[in-house]
Amino acid sequence: MKRRGLCTAPELAIGDGALGFWSAIEEVFPKTKQQRCWVHKTANVLDKMPKSIQVNAKKAINLYGPYQRRWTGGV
């Protein structure tokens, strides 16, 4: 990562489930906080549900994001 120009440790790293990315962040920038990408996480959760409830489940999940940011000061 440093070789590619990322010299200052980011406060937060957001990524998908690629294990290599998380391993590199932990090794190079151990104090950087990690967060799973909401788009990828939502897709994985919905994929495990019956198709008949996916539309409503996605609406419910999307309602949570703004609530979480407002009440917890999240990113």
DSSP 18-39: -HHHHHHHHHH-TT-EEEE-HH
Which two structure tokens, joined as six digits, stand for 2? 């440093």
pLDDT of residue 6: 82
Does the predicted model carry a pTM greater than 0.75?
Answer: no
Please name the residue ranges forming H helices in 1-75.
Answer: 19-28, 38-47, 51-72
Which two structure tokens, joined as six digits, stand for 42? 């939502």
The domains of the chain are located at 1-36, 38-75
| Contact residues for 15 (Cβ-Cβ < 8 A; gap 6+) | 21, 22, 25, 34, 36, 37
> Is pLDDT of 39 > 90?
no
Q: Give 1's pLDDT tier (boundaries 50, 70, 90).
A: confident
Q: Which residue has the tokens 């590199």?
A: 24
pLDDT, one tens digit per residue, over 48-57 is 999 999 999 9
pLDDT of residue 72: 62
